[in-house]
Homo-oligomer: A and B are copies of this chain.
């Protein structure tokens, strides 16, 4: 086998793994990460169970790989554009990109991590730990941007960054939940109004 052929094969394998995980991540926001068995994924992708076993040895491995794929999508769609801004603009961009991400139905069950957190909150183990870590990173990113905004005097330095992070995330989470239940994009407008109001009051 020539090096070129081998490279192509490996890249086909990568592509196919990516396609499988994209299907898995979308499926998980509807049927839950726990519903994500190799059998269920075989049915959804039309691949053989043995083929999927070759990619992922166990259900847990499949779940962790799926979370990794969802992280990549979230990073590309929400974090990367928002991280181009700094301070207060970054806080606004993180919020706005999140609402847009949910509103564009990138995942059919809304925010992948909100869905996973609600499912796994009471189920200890490495899958839950991974979801908690992603949530923690998101909160830290928010809090860091708020601190920068305070250093730049875009926000009042006396505001508690953890409290403001909590309140802004509450509005984002409620918009995600209400939109999924009602199908009404008015939920995003209510979140936007609440966030604008909260940031205005926290202005220096």
Contacts and interface: CB of A to CB of B under 8 A. Distances in A.
A162 B171 CA distance: 14
Count of identical protomers in the assembly: 2
A121 B181 contact: yes
Interface stretch (A28-36, A45-53, A74-82): A28-36
Contacts of A178: 166
A103 interface: no
Interface of A: 29-30, 32, 34-35, 108-110, 114-115, 117-119, 121-123, 132, 135, 162-163, 166-167, 169-171, 173-174, 177-178, 180-182, 187, 190-191, 193-194, 201
A35 B115 CA distance: 16
Given A32-B32, A119-B32, A174-B173, A167 B180 contact: no
A201 B200 CA distance: 13
B123 A118 contact: no
Contacts of A191: 166, 170
